[in-house]
Amino acid sequence: MGASESFEFRVDGEVLHADVRDGAVGVAAGPAANADAIIEGDADSLLAWGAGQIDDTEALRSGLRASGGRRTLRRLRALFPPTSR
C-alpha cells in the first residue's frame, strides 16, 4: 500500500486540496475534509518551490507556510518531486 494523506492548499485566496491514496492523487476545489497538512502562501512561492527553484528554507522565508514546517514540505517533496531544476 502507498501513502494516504490529504493536503489543503490556500493559495492567493483560493482553497483546494489533494488526496493521495495508494499512489493515486485526486485534486478538487475547496477545503479538505480532514487535512493532514495545510500549506498557505502565494502562487509564485508555491510554484517556485514545486519546480525546485527554491528549497524548503527559501520557501518558508518567502512567506510559504506549512503546518508542520519543513517536515510537511519534505513529505510533499517525496510525494511530488520537483517538476524541473
Q: Give the predicted TM-score (pTM) of the model.
A: 0.86
Helix or strand run (H / E) with residue 10 = strand 4-11
Quick one: cell of 30? 475547496
Domain of 36, CATH number, reads 3.30.1050.10
**68 lies in a domain?**
yes
Looking at the domain assignment, is residue 84 inside a domain? Answer: no
pLDDT of the residue at 81: 85
User: Which residue range(s) make up the domain with 75?
Assistant: 4-79
Mean pLDDT calculated for residue range 40-51: 93
The pLDDT mean for the chain works out to 90
pLDDT one-digit tens code per residue, 56-76 = 999 999 999 999 889 999 988
Examine residue 19 and state whether it is found in any structural domain, yes or no: yes
Distance CA 7, CA 2 (A): 16
In a domain, 31, yes or no: yes
Q: What pLDDT is stored for residue 77 in this prediction?
A: 87
Task: Write the DSSP assignment of 12-69 as a string of letters.
Answer: TTEEEEEEEETTEEEEEES--SS-SEEEEE-HHHHHHHHTTSS-HHHHHHTT-EETTT
Asked if residue 71 belongs to a domain, the reply is: yes
Count of domains observed in the chain: 1
- The reply to whether 85 falls in a domain is no
